[in-house]
Amino acid sequence: MCITAMAIVIQKEVGIPPRPEGARLPAHLICEKGTYMVNEEKYVEDITDQDDNFSKWYNQIVRKAELADYAPVRGCMIIRPYGYALWEHLQHTVDTRFKENDVENAYFPLLIPQSFLQKEAEHVEGFAPEVAWVTRGGGEELEEPLAIRPTSETIIGHSFSKWIQSYRDLPLIINQWANVMRWEKRTALFLRTSEFLWQEGHTAHRTLEEAEARTRLMLDVYRAVAEEDAAIPVIAGRKSENEKFAGALRTYSIEAMMGDGKALQSATSHNLGDNFARGFDIQYLDADSQRKYCYTTSWGMSTRMIGGLIMVHGDKSGLILPPRLAPYQVVIVPIWRKEKEREAVLDMVNRVEKMLKGKVRVKVDRSDNTPGWKYNEWEMRGVPVRMEIGPRDVQNNNVMLVRRDNRAKEPVPVEALETRLPELLEELQKALYQRALEFREQNTHTTESYDEFKEIIAEKRGFVRVKWAEDSAAETAIKEETKATLRVIPFDQPEGGVQGKCIYTGKPATCEAIFARSY
C-alpha cells in the first residue's frame, strides 16, 4: 500500500520506462541529467535468452551465479555461499518481523513417529505420497518407522498438547527454522527440491477468531517481506478447497507472477481450525472451567522465495537482486593502466571501502580479471550497484555508480557517497518493485468468456481474473482442460460484491478468482 504509493513517486522521478507487453526488459535506458547513456546490448553471450527458453535460462543463472548446485542425490540441492547469503538475508528480515509479532523460535526433531502422521485423516492422505521413511537404525529394523518430516504440525501438536493446560497458556506462538523433505517426482533448484529450507510457524489459540486473526496477520508479514524486501508484488488471498493445505480449515497464500507469466505460490498461512487440536488432544481449561480444544494455525515460507526472486527480477544478463536482500549491495571495480595509477586507485578504493563498511554491504573485486570481465560477472550475479574507480575518478575525487537494472551511470563525489549510495539503493529497490508490478498488471487479463480464457492461458500466459462460483468440480475441469489452476481468491474483491455469472458453470458468481499456470 504505502510502498506502492512511494514507488510510483519514485518511478516518476527516475522515469522507469514501462515495459512493453510480454517483454522481459525495458528496451530503453534512462538518460537523466548527470547520467550517461549506455548502449543496450547483450554483454553476456553465453546465457540462454529468457524468451527463448525460460527454464533453461533459470537453471543456467542459478548455477552460473553460484547460488546452488545439483547434489549427488536426486532432487536435492547444494546451496552455495552466495545463495546461502541471500537466504540469510531473507531469514533475517522474516525473523525480525516475526519477533515484532510475538513469535518465539524453537526446534523440533527431524524424525516423526509414523503414528503421529496418521492422527489427522486429511493430513495423512495429503502427504502420504511425499513422505520419506526411516525404517532401519542401529543395524536393526525399527519397531515403528519414522517419517522424515514433510512438515511438523504433528510433532509440534504433540508438544503443544503437553505445554498447554489453561487459557492462560494461550496464545502459544512458535516458529522453527528447519529443513523438510517431500519426495517430489519433478524437481527444480529452489522452486521444488526434495529437501528444502523454510520456517514453519505454529500457533494455538483460545478461539477460532483469534486463530483466524493470527493466520491473516502472518500472511500479511509474508506480503510485506515479498513486497518491501524482495520487491515482488504479490496477490494475497484465500486458496480454494481444492488447493488448500491437507488438514487445514482454510489456507491463505501470496501469489507472485514470474517473468514467464506463470504463478508462484510464495508463502502460505493456514487456519487449521480444531482439526489438529482434536487429533493431538490440544486442550485447555477455559475460564468457565470447561475443557476446550484449541484452534491452531501454521504458516511457512521457504527457499522457494529465492526462486521467485530470480524469476521476477532477472534479465538476459543474469540476476538482479533487490538491494535489501542482496549479499553484496555494491561491488567496487578498480581500474588502472599504469603502476602509478594502480597505487592511487587502490588507495581510493580502500578509503571508500572503509568509509562504507557497516553502512552498505560492499565487495571489492581485487581479482586480476579485467574490468570488463568484472562488469559482466557481477551483473550476472545481480549486484544492484557497481562502483567504478579509475584514474579519472581519482583525479576528480569522485566515483562512477552504475545501476544494475538499467545500467544508468552517475558520477558521485566521494564525500557524497554515504548519503547518495543508500538513496540509490532504495531507488533501485522501488524501481524493481514497480517494474515487476507493471509487468504483472500488463499480464493480468479479465474475461467473461471461457473460450477467451482458454486462449489467454494457452497463448499469453499470465493471470486471468474471472467471476467464480467456487465450484470444486468446475475447478478440476478447468485444470484438466487448460492446465491452469485457481491460484487465489484475492482479498481485494469488488465493493458491494460480485455481480454476474461464473465463467465456467454460469451460476451466480460469489467472488473473483485468479487462474494461472503455475510452478
Partner RNA sequence: CGGGGUGUGGCGCAGUUGGUAGCGUGCCUGGUUUGGGACCAGGAGGUCCGCGGUUCGAGUCCGCGCACCCCGACCA
Q: Would you tell me which residues interact with RNA (CB under 7 A)? A: 38, 43-46, 55-56, 59, 70, 73-75, 126, 129-130, 182, 184-188, 191-194, 196, 198, 245, 253, 265, 268, 300, 302-304, 317, 335-338, 342, 368-373, 375-377, 379-380, 388-394, 400, 402, 407, 479, 483, 518-519
- Smaller CB distance to RNA: residue 170 or 457? 457
Q: What pairs with residue 323 in β-bridges?
A: none
Report, in Å, the least distance between residue 392 CB and RNA. 3
**Is residue 331 within 8 Å of residue 387, measured between CB atoms?**
yes
**Is residue 519 within 8 Å of residue 264, measured between CB atoms?**
yes
Report, in Å, the least distance between residue 128 CB and RNA. 10
- At residue 193, the 3 state secondary structure works out as coil
Report, in Å, the least distance between residue 169 CB and RNA. 29
Strand order in the sheet with 111-113: 111-113, 140-148, 132-137
**Is residue 251 within 8 Å of residue 269, measured between CB atoms?**
yes
Report, in Å, the least distance between residue 300 CB and RNA. 6
The DSSP H or E segment spanning 440 is: helix 417-442
* Cell 477467451 belongs to residue: 452
Report, in Å, the least distance between residue 131 CB and RNA. 11
- Smaller CB distance to RNA: residue 135 or 242? 242
- Smaller CB distance to RNA: residue 233 or 390? 390
- Smaller CB distance to RNA: residue 47 or 466? 47
Distance CA 186, CA 218 (A): 29
Report, in Å, the least distance between residue 368 CB and RNA. 5
- Smaller CB distance to RNA: residue 175 or 303? 303
Dihedrals phi, psi of 476, to nearest 5 degrees: -65, -40
Distance CA 125, CA 128 (A): 5
- Smaller CB distance to RNA: residue 161 or 194? 194
- Smaller CB distance to RNA: residue 402 or 456? 402
Which residue type sits at 424? Answer: L
- Smaller CB distance to RNA: residue 202 or 206? 202
Pairing of strands 385-389, 330-334: parallel
Dihedrals phi, psi of 331, to nearest 5 degrees: -115, 130
Report, in Å, the least distance between residue 246 CB and RNA. 7
- Smaller CB distance to RNA: residue 234 or 335? 335
Report, in Å, the least distance between residue 318 CB and RNA. 8
The DSSP H or E segment spanning 516 is: strand 511-516
- At residue 46, the 3 state secondary structure works out as coil
Which residue type sits at 445? Answer: H
Can you spell out the DSSP letters for 277-345? HHHHT-EEE-TTS-EEE-EEEEEEEETHHHHHHHHHH-BTTB----TTT-S-SEEEEE--SSHHHHHHH
Report, in Å, the least distance between residue 290 CB and RNA. 34
Dihedrals phi, psi of 373, to nearest 5 degrees: -60, -45
- Smaller CB distance to RNA: residue 70 or 108? 70
Distance CA 181, CA 248 (A): 20
Residue 187's CB: how many other CB atoms inside 10 A?
Answer: 18
**Is residue 393 within 8 Å of residue 399, measured between CB atoms?**
yes
Report, in Å, the least distance between residue 95 CB and RNA. 18
Q: Report whether the peptide linkage leading into residue 171 is cis, meaning its omega lies within 30 degrees of zero.
A: yes
